Structure 1
Amino acid sequence: MLMKFRRIRKCQRVQLLTTSLFLCVLMVSWEDLDYHVVSHMRSYTYRYLVNSYDFLNSSLAITSNRHHRKDGSSSEAGSVNYQYLINHPEKCGGGGGGVLLLLFVKSPPENFERRQAIRETWGNESFVRSELKESVRLVFAIGVHPDVGRRSGLQSALLQEDRVNGDLIQQDFEDTFHNLTTKLILQFHWSHAFCPQAHFLMSADDDIFVHMPNLVKYLQHLLSSHSGAKDLWVGHIHRGAPPVRRRSSKYHVPFDLYPWPSYPDYTAGAAYVLSGDVAAKIYRATLVLNSSMYIDDVFMGICAKAMGVSPQEHVYFSGEGKSPYHPCIYDHMITSHGHTADVRSLWQVATAPTAYSRSRGFMGNLYCTAVRVMLLCLPCYQSTYSCFAAFT
């Protein structure tokens, strides 16, 4: 009997120790568990069962949508009117015909090399005009450097860069992560004022690679379709994403800024395309919605939802990842994320006739499908495109 009692006491001690250890681990990892499991369950429930974002107009509308500019006049706007330091209002004029695509690239002031690489590759207006027979206008959206000590020297370099290339659009706000929404608003206000005739507007980061021949072909197909390229907002969609409540995260959003459990659907801010009518709707939304949401792609989703616009998925628009390097991927790719030093080499390979061929035949197409399955569907690979892209 005594041995049995001791055995029970020992078992209880082990259970107590195990329970304590489990609770300690749970407490330490609760923040991650809460974000990756609990908040996503709450967010998906709200997105797919409730699916109501009526609070956007009632809670995020500006109480007074009139404010005064520095010159004393008033205007309707949801954000401060920052002064243009560099501008090219004539950028979309001349040349005859319409502008197929206005290409806005978000770039910090110091990223000179990235901008030059884009000009020489997928953002090359002359290449699109001569090889693809279309009109594309490239501009870079830029603020001022947040370091006051470096600002003067960088500004002189930017002015010199713009004298050579004539494609910088700069306003007098600090170019920081928390001002990305300000940069987004710059894009829509500039396009409304100076390039409303563009059929499409694309917003992209400066570490994106765009397969311009594939993109132009896609946009031409949309223009020739029955819908005439209306109500288009296409990219890599985030559905039912929850706000990040971890204070240590770059994407932390406090409850007082956004108290709801789920964001409206939005496309990854790395690269997306809008039709001209949707760009006009987003512009109008920026006039009446509070722009304090500093995560720009989320703010874009809020504006779109308020205007009744829904994103459309395209399996070859990237999210956060870099696409696999293979000719069978280049056949269909539109964008790939995370490219800096390899933009020029990737452009040469991806646009070479041997990489982009319409005459592979049945066996060639079967081979490419198998390659895409291997690259995009197996769990050992982490790629930028979903498995569905393998069968496109």
Structure 2
Amino acid sequence: MFVNFRRIHKCQCVRLLTTGLLLCVLMVCWEPLEHHVVSHVRSYSYRYLVNSYDFLGSFGRHSGKGRWNRSVATYPYLINHPRKCAAGDGEGRDDVLLLLFVKSSPENFERRQAIRDTWGHESFVSSELGVIVRLAFAVGVHPDAGRRPGVQRALLREDHVHGDLIQQNFVDTFHNLTTKLMLQFHWSQTYCPRARFLMSADDDVFVHMPNLVRYLLETLRTESGSRNLWVGHVHRGAPPVRRTNSKYHVPYDLYPWPSYPDYTAGAGYVVSGDVAAKIYEATLLLNSSVYIDDVFMGMCAKAMGLSPREHAYFSGEGKAPYHPCIYDRMITSHGHATDVRSLWREAMGRSGRGGPGGFLGNLYCFAVRVTLLCLPNPRNTYSCRAAFT
């Protein structure tokens, strides 16, 4: 038997170079790999095996946590409409199906107007869908002190025409989103406590209002009625982002656990009136140090023993595919800063009634939904199982 030593040396050299290359790639990609793989494995293990959060002990108002235990300031209202949900006698109405709170930045005038003209049109909902919905926009003050007076004057003119802005005197920034969430729940419990449902949505979200109203009315007819409902696009076992260069960075001393509680995407979710009351109570018990509003919502819910319900047609961070067979079932779609009006026309027009009827029409739409939602694509919207519901 003969051995080719030259060939052995070549093989070893190739293996050495390959190993070195892999190590270099691993070193360069370790931080993203650690976040996207290791952190998620650790997070899921904690979420489903340990699951021992103590938010009241660690984030309670009187927990003595020092630097993170700041009290929630009661910001004065700059614009308010206490009678938004009131009947003629000034009492809270029992017939408000949905209080629709849209989180908006002060300068997003066009987005607010597009919502008023489309899915947030109160008169359309009343005349076409036969229910009462109240629309309000939650805003703070402009973060640029130089531009603030001019933007504030424009906001006052806008509100004089439409009467739907709710503004408190806090700076409207990403790190004050939790303050804006608290504004919504505090205002709803003070001025609209008998609304059957509360929806929180971003101002770049499209809501298929007929489908949403149909879903809420069907919920009211169930055995549990409108109790204990918290529905949206659910994030389960998500790990905190520890990378300091990320917008969503949360340090260990602010949030020590390896997993967030289950929560719904802040772009759009719905809670029943009793859940809104419990979240309001939780905001009085927990400090608002965690500035990611949907995570803070999950913490409040966890402290009150509430769990979110997944709905296949509440969107995550992505836009829904543009197709009549999608419009037929969609509830929300995220990322519509400029195309709300065109999408509303499409969804409410002939195409909004779905594809052709009958067995063949249903089969066609099923095939379309599988193609759009289940094949690999860059959209982060509805899951594949939405095609089968």
TM-score by length of 2: 0.92
Partner of 1:81: 74
Alignment: residue pair count: 378
SS in 2 for 1:100: strand
1:14 and 1:147 mapped to 2: Cα distance? 59
Question: Given the alignment, which residue of 357, 362, 365 partners 1:368?
Answer: 365
Using the TM superposition, name which of 357-366 and 306-315 deviates more.
357-366
1:16 and 1:172 mapped to 2: Cα distance? 63
Question: Given the alignment, which residue of 260, 264, 267 partners 2:264?
Answer: 267
SS in 1 for 2:227: coil
Deviation at 1:380, TM superposition (A): 3.9
Deviation at 1:377, TM superposition (A): 1.0
Deviation at 1:19, TM superposition (A): 3.9
Partner of 2:385: 388
Deviation at 1:52, TM superposition (A): 2.5
2:103 counterpart of 1:103: no
SS in 2 for 1:225: coil
Partner of 1:201: 198
2:52 counterpart of 1:59: no
Partner of 1:50: 50
Deviation per CA, 1:76-119: give whole Å up to 9, x if none: x9511111111111100016651100000000000000000000
For residues 343-362 of structure 1, the aligned pairs below 5 Å read: 343-356=340-353, 360-362=357-359
Query: In 1, are the aligned partners of 2:324 and 2:354 still within 8 Å (CA)?
Result: no
Q: How big is the alpha-carbon RMSD for the aligned residues of Structure 1 and Structure 2?
A: 2.1
Query: One-letter code of the match for 2:49?
Result: L
2:273 counterpart of 1:276: yes
Query: In 2, are the aligned partners of 1:144 and 1:172 still within 8 Å (CA)?
Result: yes
2:168 and 2:94 mapped to 1: Cα distance? 29
1:48 and 1:347 mapped to 2: Cα distance? 40
Structure 1 unaligned residues grouped into runs of 5+:
66-76
Partner of 1:255: 252
SS in 2 for 1:148: coil
SS in 2 for 1:254: coil
For residues 7-156 of structure 1, the aligned pairs below 5 Å read: 15-53=15-53, 55-63=54-62, 79-94=72-87, 97-156=94-153
2:285 counterpart of 1:288: yes
1:355 and 1:13 mapped to 2: Cα distance? 63
Query: In 2, are the aligned partners of 1:128 and 1:134 still within 8 Å (CA)?
Result: yes
Partner of 1:180: 177
Query: In 1, are the aligned partners of 2:205 and 2:335 still within 8 Å (CA)?
Result: yes
Deviation at 1:238, TM superposition (A): 0.3
2:72 and 2:114 mapped to 1: Cα distance? 32
SS in 1 for 2:146: helix
Query: One-letter code of the match for 1:88?
Result: H
Query: In 2, are the aligned partners of 1:318 and 1:337 still within 8 Å (CA)?
Result: yes
Deviation per CA, 1:217-274: give whole Å up to 9, x if none: 1111111222111000000000000000111111111111111100000000000000
Deviation per CA, 1:152-194: give whole Å up to 9, x if none: 1000000000000000000111111110000000000000100
2:32 and 2:57 mapped to 1: Cα distance? 32
Query: In 1, are the aligned partners of 2:355 and 2:361 still within 8 Å (CA)?
Result: no
Deviation at 1:358, TM superposition (A): 9.9
Deviation per CA, 1:318-362: give whole Å up to 9, x if none: 000100111111111100001121111111110124521698122
Deviation at 1:26, TM superposition (A): 2.0
SS in 1 for 2:45: helix
For residues 216-235 of structure 1, the aligned pairs below 5 Å read: 216-235=213-232
Cα 1:359–1:293, aligned 2, differ >3 Å: closer, same or farther? same
TM-score by length of 1: 0.92
2:85 and 2:139 mapped to 1: Cα distance? 18
SS in 2 for 1:172: strand
Deviation at 1:382, TM superposition (A): 3.0
Structure 2 unaligned residues grouped into runs of 5+:
65-69
2:29 and 2:372 mapped to 1: Cα distance? 33
2:277 and 2:212 mapped to 1: Cα distance? 21
Cα 1:334–1:375, aligned 2, differ >3 Å: closer, same or farther? same
Query: In 1, are the aligned partners of 2:266 and 2:293 still within 8 Å (CA)?
Result: yes
Partner of 2:67: none
Query: One-letter code of the match for 1:252?
Result: H
Percent identity of equivalent pairs? 72
SS in 1 for 2:336: coil
Question: Given the alignment, which residue of 285, 293, 302 partners 1:305?
Answer: 302
